[in-house]
Amino acid sequence: MTQEFWRWTESRWTAGDRDWKSAKTITAGVDVGSVSSQAVILIDGGLYAYSNMRTGSSSPESAINAMNWALEGTGLSLDQIQYTVGTGYGRVNVPFSNRAVTEIACHGLGAHFLYGPTVRTVLDMGGQDCKVIRTDGQGKVTNFLMNDKCAAGTGRGLEVFADLLGVSINEIGELSLKVEENPPAVSSTCVVFAKTEASGLLREGWSKEKVLAAYCAAMSHRVVTLLNRIGVEPDFAITGGIAKNIGIVSRIEKELQIQALTSKYDTQIAGALGAALLAKALWEKGK
Amino acid sequence: MVTAGLDVGFKTVKILILKDEVILGQTLFLAGYDVREFLKTIWDEFFLETGISPEQIARIIATGVGKKEALMAQERVTEVSAAAKGSIFLNSQVRTVIDVGAEEGRAIKIDGQGRVIDFAINEKCAAGTGAFIEATARALEVKLEELGPLSLQSTQAVTINAQCAVFAESELVSLVHRKTPKEDMARAVHEAIADRIVSLVRRVGLEKEVMLIGGLAKNVGFLAALQQELEEKVNVPEYPEFTSALGAALIGAGR
């Protein structure tokens, strides 16, 4: 069995200080992405529990698995959730959802909750896409830009490099900062060509760290180009799996000369969290 | 007059020797890591094997992405002009040249003398190049040269939604899980690449006759997909991968 270098760490969380039994509203959001799926449960609009796990080959199953994992140990059951919104690439395949909403709207709301009302620009770096979302003070989307055509600047591109170098995807960021001097960025945009280029650099005697530094720099540059096309207004935040990669985040911050806000919660839940917030609004409207 | 054309590509290097418009010898080598050193080695090897004497060569012309590394060359010409010159020599009716290699795809519009009127290149994205075929061969566990014939056996159309070769590879994996026949997936990939190449052709404008050169011209599945997409007959020379080396040698002879 070959080692699965691409495998990232799944997560689960429950609020220790909240009790759903006294709650007036219990709503949920499920984000079924191409690579990861999340379920978020809110009680009275406050974060109660979430899960973040790998998407399997079936969207409905992935949605159910994520939801079951979020519910685990809470004593809460699926039928007690009053309203559920599905989002993400598999949003129409969430069997227990009341409604499907596009991920752009959900990410705006989710980021607003995670990072506070000062956030105006959200960069979401996901498994197979990358989006820039501009929001107002209420988390409403005012403009957005998306790349879902090309693996450059996405988690999938990072996975290719994790495999090539035999480095766990969780360690790429740290390792990429362990260079005395930053090498020039990998020049190819296309991940396929970048891989060929990186193989050549390894043969020239470059260390793994140096190759990773060159690739993280290329990736950061790529998303900064996307960011600049729409304009960055502070405060700025990064969501999605790559927000956990310090090598890419620090390079984006340096290139933009803006610090990104941080959150104590998993950065991958933004979409599902926004969906859960919408679910609450929709439930209250429908009553 | 004897001239040599040297085409230094991403994956392969082609050497061709031309004497008064007759090809004396041609050989294709898989490119090595250190291109400069590698070229020196194969250069000597080539003359040893073909028995052609290097002294009789009046001019050496290099082309291809690594042309700068060919220190033995007196002159360097662009890939586009070499492809154009080689194609018009092989077929004087050609007005549109499609050149698809390992990491590049081009559409070139030429006049009756082989002069370049316009061209469009994709060098940014693997989806319209041979690299996509290689990725597919890996995902389907099929030999590269078997992919073309295999795709011709396809009985039902499958679409690959992804434009990106990396995303397409994951899509292929899920198709494999769904037990999609390999021949249908091979066809889908050839159609996807043809789609990208045809958009390059449309940018320069299609004019008859059309010729396909470069390594991908040897893939019958890609050729079929390209003809279908263009709704036009596409000519393929006998040795499509040597067309640019031939063009370089012709330019060296003052053609």
Over residues A138-192, the pLDDT tens digits come to 999 999 999 989 999 999 999 999 999 999 999 999 999 999 999 999 999 999 9
Band the pLDDT of B67: cuts 50, 70, 90.
very high
A259: DSSP letter = P
Residue written as token pair 């059309």: B210
Q: Does residue A25 belong to the interface with chain B, where contact is any CB pair within 8 Å?
A: no
CATH 3.30.70.100 fits A117-264, yes or no: no
Rounded to whole angstroms, what are the CA distances from A134 to A196, A276, B225?
Answer: 35, 20, 42
The pLDDT of B191-211, averaged and rounded, is 95
Q: How far is CA B255 from CA A149, B3, B25, B93, in A?
A: 43, 11, 19, 17
Q: Is B244 helix (H, G, I), strand (E, B) or coil?
A: helix
Strand partners, A83: A27
- What digits encode the pLDDT tens for the residues A1-47? 467 888 899 999 999 888 899 999 999 999 999 889 999 999 999 99
Q: In this structure, is the dihedral angle defined by the CA atoms of residues B241, B30, B193 and B196, taken in order, positive or negative?
A: negative
pTM score: 0.86
Burial B78-113 (b: 16+ CB within 10 A, else e): ebbbbbbbbbbbbeeebbbbbbbbbbbbbbbbbeee
Calculate how close chain B gets to A127, using CA atoms only, in Å: 10
**Domains B1-79+242-255 and B92-236 equal at CATH topology level:** yes
Residues from chain B that touch A62, judged by Cβ atoms under 8 A, are: none
Mutation target for A interface from B11, B104, B163, B166: give the one with most A CBs within 10 A. B166
Overall average pLDDT of the B107-111 stretch: 97
Angle between helices B130-140 and B182-204 (to 10 degrees): 170
* Distance, CA of A186 to CA of A195 (rounded, Å): 9
The two domains A11-110+268-286 and A117-264 share their CATH topology (first three levels equal)? yes
CA angle B9, B200, B220 (to 5 degrees): 65
Q: Beta strands A260-261 and B22-30: pairing type?
A: unpaired
Neighbours of B76 (CB within 10 A): 16
Distance CA A139, CA A158 (A): 29
User: A58 touching B, CB under 8 A?
Assistant: no
Residues from chain B that touch A189, judged by Cβ atoms under 8 A, are 124-125
- What are the residue boundaries of the structural domains of chain A, listed by start? 11-110+268-286, 117-264
Q: How far apart are CA B77 and CA B253, in angstroms?
A: 13
Please give the CATH topology (third level) of the domain spanning B92-236: Nucleotidyltransferase; domain 5 (3.30.420)
Per-residue pLDDT, A1: 47
**What are the structural domain ranges in chain B?**
1-79+242-255, 92-236
Q: How far, in Å, CA of B72 to CA of B242, rounded?
A: 19
**Class of the domain covering A11-110+268-286:** alpha beta
Class of domain B1-79+242-255: alpha beta
Across the beta sheet with A141-147, what order do the strands follow? A141-147, A130-135, A121-125, A236-239, A260-261
For A262-286, what is each residue's pLDDT tens digit? 999 999 999 999 999 999 999 999 8
Mean pLDDT over all residues of chain A? 94
Q: Residue B19: phi, psi to the nearest 5?
A: -125, 115
Beta-strand relationship, B96-100 and A36-43:
unpaired
Average pLDDT over residues B199-225: 96
Using CA atoms, how far apart are residues A219 and A157, in angstroms rounded to an integer? 9
| Model confidence at A248: pLDDT above 60 | yes
Taking an 8 Å cut-off on Cβ atoms, the answer to whether A196 and B165 are in contact is: no
Q: Which residues pair with A42 in a beta bridge?
A: A27, A47
Q: Which of A157, A193, A203 sits opposite B33 (nearest CB)?
A: A203
| Element containing residue A160 per DSSP (H, E) | helix A155-165
Q: Identify whether the C-beta of residue A260 lies closer than 8 Å to the C-beta of residue A237.
A: yes
- Interface check A160 vs B, CB under 8 A: yes
Q: Which two tokens stand for residue A117?
A: 């009302």
- Pairing type for strands B105-110 and B57-63 reads unpaired
Give a three-class secondary structure readout of B146-186: HHHHHHHCCCCCCCCCCCCHHHHHHHHHHHHHCCCCHHHHH
Are residues A57 and B177, on separate chains, in Cβ contact within 8 Å? yes
Residue B35, SS3 per DSSP: helix
B166/A157 Cβ within 8 A: yes
CA–CA separation, B140 and B130 (whole Å): 15
